[in-house]
C-alpha cells in the first residue's frame, strides 16, 4: 500500500503543472482569434487615398529607395576616387551590399505589414473619439487592451494618435470614430503578454460606406464609449507618453 501510494504521488507530480506554466509558454500564436473582430470590406481605391498607415508604408519605401541609391552612388564614387584600388573595392562592395539591403526593404516592408484587408480582419474593434482639433488635423483618443492573452484579465490603456481630418466625420471634439487596434512589437519568442505598440486605425479609412462605419460602432459596448468620454481630458497626458499609451486607472 505504501509503495502504491508513493507511485500515485510520483505520477501526480509528473502530471502537475506549475502555477506559472502558462506564463512560461507565453501568449498564444493567434490571439486575435479571441478578440472582438468585425468584417470591414476594404475599398482599395479609398484606402490608398485615405489610410494613413498605407501612407506611412509608402514613405518608408521612398526613404529606403533614396537611401539605397545615395549609398550606392557613394560606393561607386569611392571606387572611382580610389582609382580601382583594393581598398576602394572593399568600401564600394560594402556600400553596394548595404544599398541592396535598403532596396530590398521596398518589397519587404509591405509584405511584413500585410494587406490592408488582413489588418482589418485580424485587428480588434475598439472605440475612439476625436479628443483634439488642431489647425491641420485631429487627435484620436482610443480605448484599447494592451494584453495579448486575456484569460487572466485585460490591461486597458488610453491611446492617442494624431492624424489628418477624417473625411466623412466631423472634426468635432467628442465625435465617435470606430477603429481597429493595430498592434505589434511583441518579444521575438512571444513570451511577453504585452503589446508595446498599439495604434487606432479608423474604419473610415477602409471604406466610404457609412453603413459599415455605423455597424462597427454599434458592436462596441456603450460603456466603452462612456469611459472614453469621461477620460477625454487626458489626451494631453497620453500624447506626452513616448508610446502614446497610458494605463487606465
pLDDT in tens, 198-227: 999 999 999 999 999 999 999 999 999 999
Residue 206 in contact with residue 46, Cβ under 8 Å? Answer: yes
Residue 123: helix, strand or coil by DSSP?
coil
Q: What gap in Å lies between CA 156 and CA 154, rounded to an integer? A: 6
Q: Assess if CATH 2.40.410.10 describes domain 115-247.
A: yes
For the chain, how far is it from start to end, CA to CA, in angstroms?
56
Q: Is the pLDDT of residue 15 over 70?
A: no
pTM as predicted = 0.70
pLDDT at 1: 44
Quick one: cell of 31? Answer: 490571439
Question: Residue holding cell 503543472?
Answer: 17
Q: Burial, 130: exposed, middle or buried (Cβ in 10 Å; 0-12, 13-18, 19+)?
A: buried
Question: Which parts of 38-85 fold into alpha helices (H)?
Answer: 44-50, 52-81
Residue 202 in contact with residue 166, Cβ under 8 Å? Answer: yes
Residue 63 CB contacts under 8 Å (≥ 6 apart), including other chains: none
Q: Is the pLDDT of residue 239 over 90?
A: yes
Question: Residue holding cell 482569434?
Answer: 33
Amino acid at each position: 500500500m505504501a509503495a502504491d501510494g508513493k507511485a500515485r504521488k510520483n505520477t501526480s507530480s509528473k502530471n502537475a503543472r506549475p502555477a506559472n506554466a502558462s506564463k512560461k509558454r507565453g501568449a498564444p500564436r493567434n490571439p486575435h482569434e479571441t478578440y472582438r473582430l468585425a468584417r470591414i470590406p476594404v475599398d482599395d481605391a479609398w484606402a490608398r487615398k485615405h489610410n494613413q498607415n498605407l501612407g506611412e508604408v509608402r514613405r518608408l519605401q521612398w526613404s529606403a529607395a533614396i537611401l539605397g541609391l545615395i549609398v550606392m552612388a557613394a560606393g561607386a564614387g569611392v571606387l572611382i576616387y580610389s582609382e580601382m584600388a583594393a581598398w576602394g573595392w572593399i568600401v564600394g562592395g560594402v556600400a553596394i551590399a548595404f544599398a541592396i539591403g535598403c532596396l530590398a526593404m521596398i518589397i519587404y516592408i509591405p509584405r511584413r505589414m500585410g494587406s490592408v484587408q488582413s489588418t482589418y480582419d485580424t485587428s480588434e474593434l475598439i472605440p475612439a473619439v476625436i479628443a483634439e482639433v488642431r489647425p491641420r488635423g485631429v487627435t484620436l483618443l482610443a480605448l484599447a487592451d494592451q494584453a495579448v492573452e486575456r484569460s487572466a484579465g485585460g490591461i486597458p490603456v488610453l491611446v492617442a494618435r494624431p492624424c489628418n481630418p477624417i473625411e466623412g466625420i466631423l472634426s468635432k471634439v467628442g465625435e465617435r470614430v470606430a477603429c481597429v487596434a493595430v498592434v505589434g512589437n511583441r518579444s521575438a519568442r512571444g513570451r511577453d503578454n504585452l503589446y508595446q505598440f498599439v495604434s487606432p486605425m479608423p474604419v473610415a479609412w477602409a471604406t466610404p460606406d457609412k453603413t459599415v462605419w455605423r455597424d462597427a460602432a454599434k458592436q462596441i459596448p456603450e460603456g466603452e464609449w462612456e469611459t472614453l468620454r469621461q477620460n477625454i481630458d487626458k489626451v494631453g497626458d497620453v500624447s506626452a507618453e513616448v508610446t502614446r499609451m497610458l494605463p487606465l486607472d
